[in-house]
Chains A and B, each alone.
Chain A
């Protein structure tokens, strides 16, 4: 009985200790970010592996999500004779929700897990300690450029996802199902608000980029330096990122569109 209570207590303390370490880690990273800006080459290299290599999956998923939205939306709207509103439906769902959220989930799966595994392996092979021995701050040299590139790539990827998705919906709706081209775009332009919808979508994707980057790098940095620890860190990155993104999305949606 006492053992069970002790375990509960230890689990709670461990949880808070880890939470505290996570926040200290974030502080350390944020403090190192200005110094990283002086070395854009490091960020550039990471932008390539985090952003450019994620581009393909984002483009393909965006296209298919937009096409599915076009098909499903058309089938529902045509019952009410409102198929001209297809553009509004596709654009609003992509810009407000699907763009930022699906991009963040894919980003966590493609780039976040890679970051965790990379950092975790660096720790397991004692490269990070090696850097410290040479008086190179690993947070400044390794972590901060990766964090910055994740933070910068997410909004761009989300915007590409939404734009491609709108064209996917347009292709299905206008080219294949015969929705009027003019009505598709003009209703969309009439109903989608730049500030209310597009900006808020971008804000969401910035927040998600921040959170996914933080979780991925912290999981890697805090991993148990064994093969098992690294695999665990990679898995946890994807799980925790997905939960954080979906939970935060609800909060952000309630704040932005709740009135």
Chain B
């Protein structure tokens, strides 16, 4: 085989390999949606129970993703979980009485934090703390409460009779 076709073959092979790596990075993984840490700011929020929330879970407002959970710690003095949210700095005008709730995407989906803007004049900034939070709903607790209230109702009925 002459040297030119051989070189073209190797060149095409390497180009195809690099294109495949590029495709895996851009199309398959989250490189395109990562964004640098430089253009984001962090706020913290304390939750009684974070359920199945994980680092890198999404943070949304009205369903639009505005950031990610960057760290989860436990505060041993306040007895609550402290979640650090890293929010894209294009979304820098949330009032400082914005509330944060942990919801579940779908019935069995992953958990995410939804922010609900309040009406205060001052905005959240780097290092602010979100005061109003709502914990994750834990399925067992809900079922437990439901069963308890059913039992209570039944008891009322039987006592009325």
Contact = CB atoms under 8 A, between A and B. Distances in A.
B150 interface: no
Interface in A75-91: 91
A160 interface: yes
Interface residues on B, range: 20 to 34
Nearest to A41: B3
B17 A162 contact: no
Given A156-B17, A156-B18, A51 B28 contact: no
B13 A47 contact: yes
26 contacts: A44-B7, A47-B14, A48-B6, A48-B10, A55-B16, A91-B28, A95-B24, A95-B29, A156-B20, A159-B20, A159-B21, A162-B28, A163-B19, A166-B27, A188-B28, A189-B29, A189-B30, A189-B32, A189-B33, A190-B30, A194-B29, A194-B30, A194-B31, A197-B29, A198-B25, A198-B28
B138 interface: no
Main secondary structure of the interface of B (DSSP, over half): helix
Contacts of B19: 163
A20 B44 CA distance: 57
Interface string B22-63: 011101111111100000000000000000000000000000
Interface of B: 1, 6-7, 9-10, 12-14, 16-21, 23-25, 27-34
Contacts of A192: 28-30
Give the size range of A's interface with the partner: 20 to 34
A160 to B, nearest CB: 4
A48 B9 contact: yes
A155 B17 contact: yes
B29 to A, nearest CB: 4
A55 B17 CA distance: 10
Contacts of B24: 95, 159, 162-163, 166, 198, 201
A166 B10 contact: no
Given A162-B24, A164-B20, A192-B28, 6 more contacts: A95-B28, A95-B29, A156-B18, A189-B29, A189-B30, A201-B24
A53 B25 CA distance: 25
A31 interface: no
Contacts of B10: 44, 47-48, 51-52
